[in-house]
Amino acid sequence: MEPETPFDELAPQEVHIEAVEGFHLGGTRYSASFELSDHNSEFARSYLLEVDCGEGLTFSIRQQVENTIMSHASLGDDRHLVLRLGGRMYDLTPAGDTMTRLPNGVLRRIFHIEGGAQYVVGDDGVCYLRDRDVWNEVPPVTARALRDIHGPYPELIHSCGNAGTLLRLRGGQWEPVELADQRDFTALEVTDAKLIHIGGPDGLALALRDDELVELNTPARDFFGIRSFKGQRYWSDANWGLNIQKGDSIVPFRELRHAFYMHASAEKLVISGWKEIFIFDGEAWDGFELGYDGNIFLRRLDMADYGG
């Protein structure tokens, strides 16, 4: 645990809480990351929690960081990567925890292939790749910020970013994919069938099919995540909630108020909200949120309050 900071001097009502990301670890177990800060974001304390959302709701603190957690990824039920602001990557394992400094760029998003490589992207076109135990920088081919990265296996890894940036990773090198659209891209999904979907602010929703870029019909949402789950494709947005794709249209599905990053296991779709973690099994909803009264605590959500 790191030394105390001025965060400890904040009264509970001065603390702002944000959920970062959540993962299903199997059964009723989840990982969830949260940031607590003052309202001016001068001081921050972040947590990675391991949560059991069974009949009761219990948690343990797996990692406390005296700064901002930018992203985390759960590589298994007892192994996690945590990206701290400033390029510090924590590898949390049962055998012990280590930290690696990744010096270049402001890194923002982790992605991993199940049982395989891990990736992290950020500003100035920076990307690091870890295969086995060593992080290596992928040579940048753009100075534009990379906002998301996804792919089902190494040969289909893509990253998207500002000003129409779409890159394909080939043999440890980026290959630009030229697109006619020059808007900022914030969300990406690549499927086994090589279908690519891209989202962004103000209703930006695109499908790339056999090199043809198709604009989807959608309300004016700010899309943060795209994930396929149990035969459906879901789009999260910052100011309403969860949407679902029907053909070439994206339509409202569940009003969660705020929905940001999503991760799917075979059984659960896990969505980060404002300070909530939402859990969807394809039919029923559950979830929890973080609170702070001088100590952190979790409470279960009443999903009737969220479009139920």
The per-residue pLDDT for 5 is 61
Flag whether 143 is in a domain: no
Flag whether 147 is in a domain: no
Flag whether 138 is in a domain: no
Q: State the Cα–Cα distance between residues 41 and 52, nearest whole angstrom.
A: 30
Q: State the Cα–Cα distance between residues 273 and 285, nearest whole angstrom.
A: 14
Flag whether 2 is in a domain: yes
The per-residue pLDDT for 36 is 97
Instruction: Provide the whole-model pTM.
Output: 0.96
DSSP letter, residue 200: -
Q: State the Cα–Cα distance between residues 283 and 110, nearest whole angstrom.
A: 28
Flag whether 213 is in a domain: no
The residue ranges of the chain whose pLDDT is under 70 are: 1-5
**Domains in the chain: how many in total?**
1
Flag whether 237 is in a domain: no
Residue 284 lies in domain: 1-86+94-99+275-308
Flag whether 267 is in a domain: no
The per-residue pLDDT for 4 is 54
Q: How far apart are the first and last CA of the chain?
A: 40
**89-140 pLDDT tens trace:** 999 999 999 999 999 999 999 999 999 999 999 999 999 999 888 999 999 9
